[in-house]
């Protein structure tokens, strides 16, 4: 089993790491629950296949999503429909992805953008998620769970020599 330490992507190995031995060169992005099977899936970056994979406790790949580049930051578990069915959110330099427990894209995703960073928020702990997406052009886009821009969000574009370092 691998754990993340703090907000960075450094990994520490625990003594009982046998289930992911064949994934030792892969980066752990996060963990998402499979509500139907009652298991946790490690979400990992697989550089050999250029894919983000969900891996079961037995080390089996549950789903694999080929991407056009490496992921940016961590993945997030969300329950976009507030029905205790979980999805995984992750981003690459060209898109924001939201996938279900089987690896299928959730409607309207991927959201195409020149991504430099992203974060997921549930402000009031009521499962009304907001996704903040920083772009290489200096914008921060505030998306609702259904992939629409949040009304009333008026972020002034950063000037040419400034950019978002971390969300």
pLDDT tens profile 144-156 = 988 999 999 988 8
Extract the runs of DSSP E, i.e. beta strands, from the chain.
2-4, 11-13, 27-34, 39-46, 51-55, 61-66, 76-78, 87-92, 95-99, 111-112, 115-121, 130-135, 140-144
Angle at 165 between CA 164 and CA 167, to 5 degrees: 80
pLDDT tens profile 84-133 = 999 999 999 999 999 999 999 999 999 999 999 999 999 888 888 999 99
Tokens of 23: 């994934």
Please state the pTM of the whole predicted model.
Answer: 0.81
């Amino acid at each position: 089993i691998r754990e993340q330490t703090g907000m960075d992507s450094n990994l520490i190995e625990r003594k009982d790491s046998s289930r992911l031995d064949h994934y030792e060169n892969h980066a752990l992005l996060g963990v998402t629950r499979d509500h139907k099977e009652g298991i946790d899936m490690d979400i990992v970056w697989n550089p050999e296949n250029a894919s983000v994979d969900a891996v079961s406790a037995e080390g089996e790949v549950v789903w694999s999503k080929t991407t056009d580049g490496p992921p940016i930051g961590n993945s997030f578990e969300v329950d976009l429909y507030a029905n205790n069915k979980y999805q995984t959110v992750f981003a690459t330099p060209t898109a924001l992805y939201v996938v279900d427990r089987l690896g299928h894209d959730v409607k309207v995703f991927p959201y195409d953008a020149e991504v430099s960073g992203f974060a997921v928020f549930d402000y009031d702990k009521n499962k009304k998620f907001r996704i903040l997406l920083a772009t290489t052009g200096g914008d921060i886009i505030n998306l609702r769970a259904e992939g629409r821009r949040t009304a009333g969000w008026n972020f002034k574009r950063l000037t040419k020599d400034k950019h978002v370092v971390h969300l």
